[in-house]
Structure 1
Amino acid sequence: MERRKFLRNVAGVAAASSIVPLTVSCKSFDGVAKEINKGNGNEEQWYQLGTGKKVPNPDRKEIVNYDVVVVGAGVAGISAAVAAARNGAKTVLINDRPVLGGNASSEIRVTLNGVNRLETGKAERETGIVEEIMLENRLYNPQESYPVWDHIVYDYVVREPNLTVMLNTQAIDAEMDGAKIISARCWQLTTETEFTVKGDVFIDCSGDGLMAAKAGALYRTGREGKEEFNETYAPDKPDGWQMGASILLQGKDYGRPMPYTPPTFVKKYDGDNAHHERKINNFLDGYWWVELGSDHDIIDVQEDNRHDLMGYLHGVWDYIKNSGKFPESENYALEWVGSLPGRRESRRFIGDHILSETDLTEHKHFDDAIGFGGWSLDEHNPGGILDIKERPSFFHQKFKTVYQVPFSSLYSKNIENLMFAGRNASLTHIALSSTRIQGTCALMGQATGTAATICVNKGITPREVKNKHIKQLQEMLMRDDVYIPKVVANDPKDLAKKASAIFGSSTKSGNAKNVINGISRDIDGEINHWMSDGLPATFQMEWNNPVKLSKVEIKCDTNLHKNITMRKQPLSEFLKKSFITTVPPELLKVLDLEVRVNGSWVKVGSKDRNIVRLIKFDFDQVKTTAIRIKMKETYGKDSVKLFEVRAYEA
């Protein structure tokens, strides 16, 4: 009998037998053997030594209420939950693992990539919440430790006052009222507690999307054929293939010979006959092409694939250590071995728009754009490591500039109050080959979390946000430092746009008025900054008539054309050109904010160790005719760039 059928039969027997109350023989507290009926769980079977009492076995159930419920705490889910909480919604973030970060966590260790390298050779890094986390990691984790990264992410999330985090908790079902989710039924492993989590808006960022599927949300799996969306790189006919999960390793040079004996579950790797792109050029970073997918139900075979992937991982390491072809590996040993594969693809839920290959390659303009992507069309080999003679990935096409991601691909077509962000969004298989990258997923997450607050405040659905309030959503996102290609910020409440004079103490490049042009980065060869000629420097805004101010927001420079993601190995000379391994030296570190009141300058804010691109000053409302930003120090550059300055009454 096949292993999977055997397991199903065993499960069936267990399920059938559980209908009849079980009777077992055991010793009582006085040592006398007794028959205890364990059928209904209400007997006083628990002897609490602290109280000296016999009590029923605990049956822990709780009902909790939130405005926004986010399921899955990968980078998409984190961004969704933080965005919702910051915009005033009472939010819960539910994660089935003990750490946050999903594929980027220490359990899996996938590099948190985004638009790392366009065809131009430059990055176009994602800003907003995902960049804030990565900047903190550069400051507080210079050793690039993945377990420390876990705690930096955890600290970033739990300090949000409107946000509750539930770890080791899986959303396993949904209670419905027609086409609306009322609550998610969740099981918390560590406390043996069943939670009923009620909410107004639900965002499934879990990747596999079990809760969304249980709610009845429409979804698809597999590869579309060429004809359905006119996709060049799709197969001629649709099939069930889904890109696989990978498992990683990390090696370490111990400075002495380190022999290796593989475990019994090893699966031999025939590296001599593998495609040349299955490169073994270092022993530090792991091999993403140790990958297994499925042509049917990839979730159903996950545990089988996990076991096999662990065997293939050790097979690759055995080939490195014991084939004799890599004598330079003599002093290397495994320092860390993954046990939880990182998934690329399973369910893709259906929204009002299914984002396709041509939407990306033709740079389609969407009126409801909420972010961008730009990773190449990177479709992995359908056979994974079972087809080692084939190249591991098909980089079908690179992009010269970024493309838009629409909001209509981030909410359910048939469930009224459900959104999704990440790899389970409304995408074709080929579009997913680019948008699955975690930086892009983070922008989707921030958009859904922000949209959820509009839904809560107005009592509307995500579809109504798209149809009636998309400009509000876009303005909120851009204010919170999300770049939306070809969309210019124009917040009517921003008093900076009404300034009568804008100037700096010196100018090396750009124009001072660029800070109110609504584009907060240099992109596609266009300059959208003002840059000082040296430090210290000042930047000033004047109004002909006094204005009331209580908030000033500044977007400074973090060199978005280079990567700051954490790496597991020393950078090659090639990568050193495109990576920053410290806090970006361009980032503004020390600055003061002053306002002019009755002809005198008054300091209303100061930053001594700024670590964000979007710098916010909140102060008691004042009536003023000018603001002055005094910039004293960066993290290494002798000049400073500003991309945007905003000013608000409240």
Structure 2
Amino acid sequence: MKRRDFFKKGTKAVIAAGIVPMVVTSCASSKDMIYDEAKDKWYHLGTGKTGTPNRKPVVNYEVAVIGGGAAGICAAVASARNGAKTVLIQDRSVLGGNASSEIRVHLNGVNNIKGKAERETGIIEEILLHNRFENEQESFPVFDHVLYDFVVREPNLTLMLNTQAVEAVMGGNKIKSARCWQSTTEKMFTINAPVFIDCSGDGLLAATAGAEYRTGREGKAEFNEKYAPDEPDGWQMGATLLMSSKDMGKPMKYSPPSYAVKYTHEGGHKRRKFAGFQDGIWWIEVGSNDDIIADAETNRYKLMAYLHGVWDFIKNSGKFPEAENLALDWVGSLPGRRESRRFMGDYIVSEKDMTHHKNFEDAVAFGGWSLDEHNPGGIENITEPPSYFHYHFKEVYQFPFRSLYSKNISNLLFAGRNVSQTHIALSSSRIMATCALQGQAVGTAASMCVKRNVLPREIGQKYINELQEQLLRDDVFIPKRPANDSNNLAKKASLLFASSTTSGDVKNLINGISRDIYGEINHWQSDGLLAEVQLEWENAISLSAIELKCDTNLKRNIMMRKDSRNDDLYGNGIPKEMLKALSFEARVNGQWKQVGEITDNRTRLIKVKLNTLKTTAIRIKMTETYGAKNIKLFEVRCYA
């Protein structure tokens, strides 16, 4: 790949100046660099004693999740909710990965299919709804704390921040333990678990375990991919450094820092646009054709230099008079990475699996972002477009479970951009909400591994139907895979009717499809508020739980954006369609009895647990939404 030398100042001196060399002597060895606690000269003034700090704890869990981005959070929460004692290990002080306040990428998903969203449900939607309630001001630092709250409130889940899994301890082809360094406490944890999930993106734990992986771009021939290069190469999509600015109400001067690299936009491709520059420019990006992880610090130095060079161009070139009153309000120091290791599973998802909408018997997630392959040269190759939007999907595609566990490390699962797929497939599935669906799938699978004392491959071979049914119950949509849970007593009701209907059919509430899709209606909608749905059984059933899926308008995005967009495709508030208040009644010994009430519902998946009772009928009374004049439901379930 040829690159133009378009900068007036090179980066060599800038990069070199930022590198701090390691001091090495002729007598130094790796042993000399290991902290020896026995030599610790600790004198505790409070006790008057000397001692040795205990900084090597060993802890045991059933599932260990590495990486606290969208995929890792959903994996850990799913594992914990399904009964496994789980730990979530995150190497930063905040959760969220690329969506955190440190990087501030929009938590995108299937944002636009034929002009509408096809929003992800399950845990990731629960997170985004939680943010809409708790972070009305749309602050990224507050979003960090919303995510923290979402994780720490789970009773079966332990969170370890500022902790990096640096090494796998192996027993044959199985990970026995993860050695994890916690920088704030100077502790080297040994985390023991029967199942590990690597959602860290770069996958250091998986790599040290010996899991097979690849980097770079496959050539056309290997998977018959139309959009792959003719021959394989080492290029990986780069990382981006973002910023945001603030209108100060008066002219603001800007002087670039010493390390900035002059930017001119001379010869820049017409698709390198500056629209929305006040909230950052995603194509300030640097890739790598070799070891993108080893290059990370060098590329960070470059990106800081390029970012300030571009902002200098915006402020001082005279081409952007609208920037006169703008001043930098926040500048990122941690680039958001798109690609590095891709670990090999029993199946490698490729371009045609997506564009041909292959039907996978082990489908557990979906995607639909375009095949969006960024120019691997990034800003160092500005004559090319910043991204090649190869293919725009008209419907969502499936993602299989066989691509979410390692082919050669028996107790290792993964989710996110490091899963088993080609470079071209990654260009679509790398989007965070898609990664989150993968995370919920592997977290649920991991809990099943613990319950059944089996390994991930066996889940895929013997228990895939059970995994899919649990995901569907937990409000994950799997394309072309209706739910058919034999334990769902609602499907066995002899009568199902509603007080009023304006669209759909009340029987849709048990058809196993929990959204309107493919042009088909799968809902029931009331005529006004004060609506009721009733189910009856010929013989009394034992009932302990009722579950509903209400409407949150999945055709409209709700993730937080820097521009706080609010239009037909994006909403910056609580979905008005969501059900807010409802109550539940059961007919016991011929008499109706209220058994539950919710006055401030905040989720699409509504669950009410009951003291087990014998009943011949239930009645769901719905009285309030967050603004819609009718009530829409997609599913009713009942369980003993």
Please classify the TM superposition score into its range, dividing by the shorter chain length.
over 0.9
Structure-1 residue corresponding to 2:417: 423
Partner of 1:583: 574
**C-alpha contact 1:284 1:569 (8 A) present in aligned 2:** no
SS in 2 for 1:465: helix
Offset at 1:552?
0.3
Q: Out of 103, 116, 135, which is 1:108 matched to?
A: 103
Name 1:409's counterpart in structure 2: 403
Query: When the two structures are aligned, how many residues end up with a matched partner?
Result: 628
Q: Contact conserved, 2:564 with 2:572, CA < 8 A, in 1?
A: no
Give the secondary-structure state (helix, strand or coil) at the position aligned to 1:284. Answer: helix
5+ residue gaps, structure 1, are: 23-37
On the 8 A contact 1:170/1:187 being kept in 2, the answer is yes
Q: How does 1:251-266 map to 2 (within 5 A)?
A: 251-266=245-260
Partner of 1:154: 148
Whether the 8 Å CA contact 1:283–1:329 is kept in 2: the answer is no
2:28 to 17, 20, 25: 17
* Aligned counterparts of 2:432 and 2:108: Cα–Cα separation in 1: 6
Pick closer, same or farther for the CA change 1:5–1:144 going to 2, 3 Å: closer
Matches within 5 A, 1:192-591: 192-571=186-565, 576-591=567-582
After TM superposition, the structure 1 stretch with the greater mean CA deviation from structure 2, 555-564 or 3-12, is 3-12
- Following superposition, the deviation at residue 240 of structure 1 comes to 0.3
Cα deviation, residue 257, structure 1: 1.3
Structure 1 residue matching 2:420: 3-state secondary structure:
coil
Paired position in structure 2 for 1:95: 90
Query: CA 1:648–1:317 in structure 2 vs 1: closer, same or farther (change >3 Å)?
Result: same
Q: Which moved more, 1:525-534 or 1:39-48?
A: 39-48
1:30 maps to: none
Letter in 2 for 1:408: R
Aligned in 2, Cα 1:15/1:207: closer, same or farther, shift over 3 Å? farther
Cα distance change on mapping 1:276 and 1:606 into 2, 3 Å = same
**1:637 and 1:544, CA in 2 relative to 1: closer, same or farther beyond 3 A?**
same
Give deviations 1:135-169, integer Å, cap 9, x for gaps. 01111111100011111110000110110000000
Q: Which is further off, 235-244 or 576-585?
A: 576-585
Structure 2 CA distance for aligned equivalents of residues 267 and 112 of structure 1: 30
1:633 aligns with 2:624: yes
Aligned: 1:65 with 2:60: yes
2:43 alignment counterpart? 47
**CA spacing shift, 1:15–1:418, aligned 2, 3 Å:** farther
**How many Å apart are 1:46 and its aligned residue?**
2.4
Which SS does the other structure have where 2:24 is aligned? helix
Q: Secondary structure at the match of 1:520?
A: coil
Indicate conservation of the 8 Å contact 1:62/1:193, yes or no.
yes
Paired residue secondary structure (2:399): strand
Q: 1:416 to 1:585 in 2, by over 3 A?
A: same
Give the distance between the partners of 1:21 and 1:591, measured in 2 at CA: 66
- Report the alpha carbon displacement of residue 599 of structure 1 after superposing the two structures with TM: 2.0
Question: Per-residue displacement from partner, 1:273-303 (whole Å, max 9, x unpaired)?
Answer: 3222221123432111000010010000000
Once the two structures are superposed, residues 325-364 of structure 1 have per-residue CA deviations (whole angstroms, 9 ceiling, x without a partner) of 1111111101100000000000000000000000000000
Q: CA separation in 1, counterparts of 2:358 and 2:23?
A: 50
Q: Is structure 2 residue 590 aligned with structure 1 residue 595?
A: no
CA contact (8 A) 2:586 2:615 kept: yes
Mapped contact 2:126–2:603 kept (Cα < 8 A): yes
Q: Which runs of 5+ in 2 are unaligned?
A: 1-11
| 1:607 maps onto 2:607 in alignment | no
Change (3 A) 1:12 1:462: farther
Q: In the alignment, which residue of structure 2 is the partner of 1:26? A: none
Contact 1:231 1:357 in 2 (8 A): yes
Deviations 1:515-538 (A, max 9, x none): 000000000100000000101111
Segment drifting more, 264-273 vs 76-85:
264-273
Q: Measure, in 2, the Cα distance between the counterparts of 1:329 and 1:515.
A: 53
| Preserved CA contact (<8 Å) 2:138 2:564 | no
Distance 2:564 2:335 in 1: 24
Distance 1:323 1:624, change over 3 A: same
Letter in 1 for 2:57: E
Q: What is the alpha-carbon distance in structure 1 between the residues aligned to residue 21 and residue 305 of structure 2?
A: 25
Q: Which amino acid is the alignment partner of residue 403 of structure 1? A: Y
Give the Cα separation in 2 of the matches to 1:570 and 1:268.
31
Aligned partner of 2:75 in structure 1 is 80
Identify which of 617, 621, 646 aligns with 2:608: 617
Alignment of 1:182 with 2:182, yes or no, is no
Deviation at 1:268, TM superposition (A): 1.4
Per-residue CA deviation, residues 431-460 of structure 1 (Å, 9 max, x unaligned), is: 000000001000000000000011111111
Give the TM-score taking structure 2 as reference length: 0.96
Whole-angstrom CA distance in 2 between matches of 1:20 and 1:133: 45
Q: 1:15 to 1:248 in 2, by over 3 A?
A: farther
Instruction: Please report how far the alpha carbon of residue 122 of structure 1 lies from its aligned counterpart in structure 2 after TM superposition.
Output: 1.1
Pick closer, same or farther for the CA change 1:155–1:8 going to 2, 3 Å.
Answer: closer
CA pair 496-9 structure 1, distance change in 2 beyond 3 A: closer
- Structure 1 residues 197 and 20, CA gap change in structure 2 (3 angstroms): closer
How many angstroms apart in 2 are the aligned matches of 1:107 and 1:592?
Answer: 42
Whether contact under 8 Å (1:593, 1:629) holds in the other structure is yes
User: What is the deviation of 1:40?
Assistant: 5.0
Give the C-alpha shift of residue 600 in structure 1.
1.7
Query: How much has 1:565 moved relative to structure 2?
Result: 0.8
Whole-Å separation in 1 of the counterparts to 2:601 and 2:26: 58
Structure 1 residues 434 and 542, CA gap change in structure 2 (3 angstroms): same
- The structure-2 alpha-carbon separation of the partners of 1:426 and 1:40, relative to structure 1 and needing over 3 Å to count, comes to closer
Q: 1:5: Cα distance to partner?
A: 10
SS at match of 1:526: coil
The residue number in structure 1 matching 2:7 is: none
The 10-residue stretch of structure 1 (475-484 or 321-330) with the greater mean CA deviation from structure 2:
321-330
How big is the alpha-carbon RMSD for the aligned residues of Structure 1 and Structure 2?
A: 1.9
Q: Give 1:309's aligned amino acid.
A: L
The superposition leaves residues 181-203 of structure 1 with CA deviations (integer Å, 9 ceiling, x where unpaired) of 10000100000000000001000
How far apart, CA to CA, are the structure 2 residues paired with 1:43 and 1:264?
43
